[in-house]
Structure formats: C-alpha cells, structure tokens
Amino acid sequence: MKKLLSYLFPFTRRVPSAVSGELEVTLYQGRKVLDSRTANYSYGALQRVLRFGLQQIPLEGIHHVLLLGLGGGSVIQTLREELHYKRAITAVELDPVVIQVAAEEFGIVSSPTLQIIQADAFAWVEQARGAFGLIIVDISIDSKIPEEVFSFAFWQALHRLLSPGGYILLNAIEAASHATLIGALRPQAAQLGLDLHVHQAVEKINQLLVARKA
C-alpha cells in the first residue's frame, strides 16, 4: 500500500549520521532513493552517472571490483542486476550509518561475493593488498568531494592495487577547483602509466574520470 501511495506523494525517513549529517531515504513513485542534505547518494542521478561510466568499461575480463564509497549500494545493483557482473566486489565505506541504511533499506549486505568494510578509504588503500580489475571511487561527504581523491599519493595507491589492463572510475562534480586538480593530475597519471580520459557534463553537473593501466 505504501508503495502505491508513493505515486501520489513521497514518504521520507530521516536518519542522523555523525559523518554524513542527516540522511534521507525517500520512497517516491515506487522507488527509494538515498540523499544527503544537498546531494543524491544513491539510486537517483548518481546511479545514472555511474551506470554511464560502467558502460565505458569491458567488465567481462574483470575478476574483482573495489568500490570506495558504498552509499546505498546503487552501483552494486547496477553491476549485479543490469550488467550481470557476478564476481567479487569489495566495498569500503567510512560511515557506519550509511552501511546500516544500505542493508535495511536496499538489501545491500555482505555475502560470499560481496565484502563490506567500514573504514576510511584513504587509509585503507595505503594498507590494502590484492589486485582489482576495476576500482570505482565515489567518495563524498554530502556534496563535497575531498581534494585528496585527486592527489598523486592516492592515485599511486590505486595504481598499486590495480591489475594490468585494469580501470579506475572516479565520479566528481564539475567545479573550477576540480578542473585545476584534474589538470595537475593528468601528467601524474601519465607518469604512473595510466591512460586518463575525462567525460564532461554527465547528468549535466558530473564529470567522470576513466583511467586504464597499461
């Protein structure tokens, strides 16, 4: 009944978080979305942005995906249900409330092929071991993307974890400050042996960085 009524007016559950501020889970027109105060976290525009990015990447040769920034898990839904990716996924999320909401509202829970880790992604990649064919970076607090995602040290860590021929997919909002940071990142990515391409104006305000390891 609630799902049917959502076609007439939205139902919103507000969840406080010490990390992300107030989160909102809204059921509208039969679908749930997860939002922060000023940004979509999952199952709205963000899912369409990352879907576009994933469609640029050949998934058939990728044996393990690393997701930095879980949100409500919409990219996992896209991988599993739309793109039929059945292999291993490791997701790292800083906010324990976000992990709880992903489980309670969207059914995103750990399984034999999905490991969810509560940790700071920047610290985690420095210590992690393993080889990933695809690393998806979708790290933000509300609508703010930490400048650290564009740093050479972070990309060095990603490069170390990336399999030969593997891909990095990074979601960012278009902004003058980000343009400057990406401009500085380009020669550093080339130095690491990464072929970097930037897709502009994805869903109007997002840009996607797609890099491939030689």
Q: What is the pTM of this model?
A: 0.91
Token pair, residue 179, equals 């343009």
Rounded Cα–Cα distance for residues 25 and 15 (Å): 8
Helix spans in 24-111 (H): 45-54, 74-77, 96-106
Helix (H, G, I), strand (E, B) or coil at 4: helix
Decide if 200 contacts 207 (C-beta within 8 A): yes
Rounded Cα–Cα distance for residues 130 and 127 (Å): 10
132-188 pLDDT, tens digit per residue, is 999 999 998 777 888 999 999 999 999 999 999 999 999 887 677 788 889 999 999
90-121 pLDDT, tens digit per residue, is 999 999 999 999 999 999 999 999 999 999 99
Residue 167: burial class (beta carbons within 10 Å; 0-12, 13-18, 19+): buried
| Domains of the chain, each with CATH number or no CATH | 42-213 (3.40.50.150)
